[in-house]
Amino acid sequence: MSSGSGNTRFSFKFFALRWSDYKTVFSASYSEKIYEHLLETANDAFWQTALRVLKRQSRLVAWYYATSAAIAILIWFHHI
């Protein structure tokens, strides 16, 4: 993966997009007025943003549960 200005995992634009996604979704979840404005002006873009955030958050939860399960198994085997 390059560290250039493209939309890769290590580029500034990639992290700026992530921040923007979270800001948009959390703003919409905080204020009904902002949510309605986003749906009126950029309905498709809002739902794409929400799906990107959901994908990242579900990946985080999956890694959390996998790690927790692995640690639990290691502790269980240690006590046998």
Amino acid of residue 43: N
pTM, entire model: 0.67
Tens-level pLDDT at each residue, the chain (80 residues): 444 455 556 677 777 878 888 888 888 888 889 888 888 888 888 899 999 999 999 999 999 999 999 999 999 988 77
**Angle CA(18)–CA(20)–CA(23) in degrees, nearest 5?**
110
Q: Which two tokens stand for residue 3?
A: 């560290």
Q: Determine the pLDDT at residue 9.
A: 61
Q: Determine the pLDDT at residue 13.
A: 74
Question: How many whole angstroms separate alpha carbon 39 and alpha carbon 29?
Answer: 12
CB 38 within 8 Å of CB 46:
yes
Q: Determine the pLDDT at residue 79.
A: 77
